[in-house]
Structure 1
């Protein structure tokens, strides 16, 4: 029996909300619904009832909840007993670009904290350019950014691609059809910080479409980009994964019919010979894999 499905069921039963459970487990409501449906199919009974008042347990659900909580407690105790004598201590210095912060970073930190409770996590959020510089100077141990690094003491692994898109505020003057990228380029475009890889690729794409001087407004904060887009400031060139909630609520919309910007690459790079680094890289792959499974290929594509 899948423990992740049991954990999801327990949290839905406690919080009485699919939305709050999705936030708690760093996943989507669709993924929560899918896990509950799979668990119900496995057990052959209906566990939950959903109506206008919320979520409630069926009589069978109440019985299953008791066993599910015991099973999760047993699994947790087993893991703690196996790791108690060889608990890892120390510090890991982790650098991440803003795109990761706003997608699956919380799930990674939660997993790191649970697996290595005595390890201090030093988290740095910065641009890919600055993160690479800090890794090369030895100030960081692991970074999640956009480019493969080739250096004697550094290793890199290509992890995934974030599909990009053209995103605008629903009902704003920018929410209309565009005949070409050249016409789009006459509007105010909002994208990542200057000299970043996505900025350079968006600039090159619009230039190749016939715009000699595209108006690119460079912002190094995803939160600031999102706010500007919601206020109708311009057209965003960024991964839809970063504004999934705003798209779902209908506040923002993805323009269709135009060539999107090149996908945003996601690379993990790390200093060799540093304690715990290999384990952290492996954990990044595991957590990212679960995130990708939850959100689908429209939001991220694993390499």
Structure 2
């Protein structure tokens, strides 16, 4: 029997999942030299090379790929058994979560609070970004769970719908009183790879409006401030501007778009980490504020 510890095989799996020794070191809260030492210990014990150098990187050999393929389901079963026995109370680790501003402002705070209460050993790393980049980060292994504006169709991800948000066309009170879209009115929007941008263009086409300019900003809260300052109109999620609508600082200047923006929680379709799967199960039960 080869003298390999569980942490050796865990290290091998994370290198295979994330693609580099450095990423595995960050995931396992250790150093790259420590990861290299573990790999050398495995290769010495097994008497085979698990990695070979390609350019400036390291890739799995055929023997390394076979070991990962055979061990991964065993490791997942081992983790599931331990977590099930403790109802996940003893779970530890870092989980990287990506979210858009709308999800972050509505369902995400409750999700974070629940995880902190139920799983105190789990550390969450949150990053706000746009859907296109979050999808790339998820598929690239640098995020574990993401909250996307969708629907998103990709063979590499598994999704669960968490609700939709209503959208409204708004401008400042002064802009609306000056005639709104009856005059040439600039439009502001999230960039083109966001579903909100698509809804904006569809709505303008339906109403036969060709604005003099369509400017973009990748931050919804900044868009709200731009519109409040009288710089144009924008289609925005109602959930983020209810106070401004109630006070009259923002006024609706076109009928509300029929299409709402749907939100989804997503993980990689190949995800096998029991902790990630448990958090995805919890995320799937969320309902975003419409």
TM-score, normalised with respect to structure 1: 0.59
Q: Where in structure 1 are there 5+ consecutive unaligned residues? A: 1-81, 293-299
The DSSP-based 3-state class of the residue aligned with 2:264 is strand
Alignment of 1:248-267 (within 5 A): 248-255=246-253, 258-260=255-257, 262-267=259-264
Name which of 172, 175, 180 aligns with 1:173.
Answer: 175
Contiguous gaps of at least 5 residues in structure 2:
1-84
Q: How much has 1:265 moved relative to structure 2?
A: 1.5
2:213 maps to 1:211 = no
Aligned residue in 1 for 2:100: 97
User: Which residue matches 1:280?
Assistant: 279
Distance change >3 Å, CA 152–CA 287, structure 1 → 2:
closer
Go from structure 1 to structure 2 and tell me whether the alpha carbon gap of 1:85 and 1:91 turns closer, same or farther (over 3 Å shift).
closer
Count of residues in correspondence between the two structures: 204
SS in 2 for 1:140: coil
Distance 1:99 1:203, change over 3 A: same
Alignment match, 1:11: none
Taking structure 1 as reference, are residues 103 and 215 closer, same or farther at Cα in structure 2, changes over 3 Å only?
Answer: farther
State the match for 1:270 in structure 2. Answer: 267
75, 86, 90: which is aligned to 1:87?
90
Give the equivalent residue in structure 1 for 2:218. Answer: 220
**2:176–2:253 contact (8 Å) kept in structure 1:** no
Match of 2:134 in 1: 131
Q: Which of 118, 121, 127 is the equivalent residue of 2:121?
A: 118
How far did 1:227 drift?
A: 1.1
> Residue 176 of structure 1: CA displacement?
6.0
Query: Who wins on radius of gyration, i.e. which is larger?
Result: 2
Q: Write the distance in 1 (CA, Å) between the matches of 2:279 and 2:233.
A: 36
Provide the C-alpha distance between the structure 2 equivalents of 1:100 and 1:90, rounded to a whole number of angstroms: 23
Tell me by how many angstroms 1:212 deviates: 4.7
Counterpart CA distance in 2 for 1:129 and 1:174 is 33
The aligned residue for residue 199 of structure 1 is 197
Deviations 1:3-50 (A, max 9, x none): xxxxxxxxxxxxxxxxxxxxxxxxxxxxxxxxxxxxxxxxxxxxxxxx
Residues 135 and 141, structure 1, Cα contact 8 Å, conserved in 2: yes
Separation of aligned partners in 2, 1:212 and 1:86: 56
Distance 1:185 1:111 in 2: 49
Residue 146 (structure 1) aligns with? 149
Partner SS, residue 269 of structure 1: strand
CA RMSD of aligned residues (A): 2.7
Distance in 2, matches of 1:166 and 1:279, equals 38
Cα distance in 2, alignment partners of residues 261 and 175 from structure 1: 25
Please give the TM-score of this superposition, normalised by the length of structure 2: 0.62
CA distance in 2 between counterparts of 1:261 and 1:235 reads: 18
